[in-house]
Amino acid sequence: MENEEKLLTGEESLKIITDMINKTKVNISQGSFHLLFWGWLIFFCSLGEYDFASPWLVWLLVIPGVFVSLIYGFVKGRKEVVFTYATSIYIWTWMAFLFASIVLFIVVWENMQFVAPLILTLAAMASFISGIIIKFRPLIIGAITFWIFALVAHFAGPSIAPLAVPAAMLTGYLMPGYILKYRKNHGTI
Amino acid sequence: MAQFKDLDPVLHSQLRLALISLLIGVETAEFTYLQEKTGATAGNLSIQITKLKEAGYIEVTKKFRNNYPLTICRITPQGRQKFTEYVKALKEYLNPDQNHKS
């Protein structure tokens, strides 16, 4: 685009507008890190419950996890050369999930046995919206599995229900996370 | 039928139109991003950014990151309005019959 004062035809103008708008895609460079980080963290926390006298203690790992995620997002975000509206919605969807989760933990503090299906339901909503924003079907399907495992966590017997969370992490975070990482590395997303 | 002269002269230029079309879809964009997407030279891009800024269509913020200067651009409400008017005028120019019927 050297001849900036060249007189454009209507068709040329329309083509420039269309071409440029199509170039502003949502930036998902951080997406796989957060999915894999939280997928593995929650996976091990949920399985780790079985090895502790006080099972809830293992979930304290979530607190430093939030800080790791926020710091990583902030540091990486500062290096981005473009900030799209879709990226902004993506980030704030997950921040809303964080705020809602904090409120939820406070509300159900005395009845922590109910927290798993509720958190999975909230996480599913954030994943579903994120999948729609970045047009990434594995994340959308993962979100649907979260809702299914939320029902399993609530209705299944005590021998099956605790496995709902680690199973949900495999289908909802880890599988989409690895697919996203693979596609990003191969430039197919 | 709308005439070509009705199209905003600030926007009716190849590079400036490309810049506004990019900025309409993002919150902010750095100079390097705009250069990569438009394929323009740094000098030419800088001139056109200045023209858009002087017309009030974009805001330009200068920052430093790791001692390197950064130029960050953002479309203004006026720029957004002018782009909408430009697209409307372009539509009328390209489809005069259709617009007369509606």
Domain count of the fold of chain B = 1
Q: What is the pLDDT of residue B102?
A: 45
Is residue A165, in this structure, part of any structural domain at all? yes
pLDDT for A34 equals 93
**Could you tell me if residue A167 is inside a domain?**
yes
pLDDT in tens, A2-60: 545 667 888 888 889 988 888 776 666 677 899 999 999 999 888 877 666 666 777 88
pLDDT value, residue A1:
58
CA distance A169 to B34: 38
Angle between helices B31-38 and B42-54 (to 10 degrees): 110
Measure the CA–CA gap between B72 and B61, rounded to whole angstroms.
Answer: 5
Residues 6+ apart with CB under 8 A from B50: none
For residue B2, being part of any structural domain is answered with no
A4 touches chain B (CB under 8 A): yes
Q: Check: pTM over 0.80? Answer yes or no.
A: no
Q: Report ipTM (2 d.p.).
A: 0.81
Residue A107 lies in a domain: yes
The reply to whether A16 falls in a domain is: no
Predicted pLDDT at A170: 96
Window B:46-75, CB contacts with A under 8 Å: 47-48, 65
What is d(CA A150, CA A168) in angstroms, rounded to the nearest whole number?
8
Is B32 a member of any domain? yes
What is the domain extent for residue B16?
7-92
Task: State chain A's mean pLDDT as an integer.
Answer: 86
Q: Does residue A99 belong to any structural domain of this protein?
A: yes
**Residues B17-62: tens digit of each pLDDT:** 999 999 998 999 999 999 999 999 999 999 999 999 999 999 999 9
- Cβ within 8 Å, pair B14-A23: no
How many domains does the structure of chain A reveal?
A: 1
Expressed as residue numbers, the domain containing A138 is 28-185
Q: Is residue B97 part of a domain?
A: no
**CATH number of residue B68's parent domain:** 1.10.10.10
Q: Is residue A64 part of a domain?
A: yes
User: What residue ranges in A37-121 does DSSP mark as E strands?
Assistant: 82-84
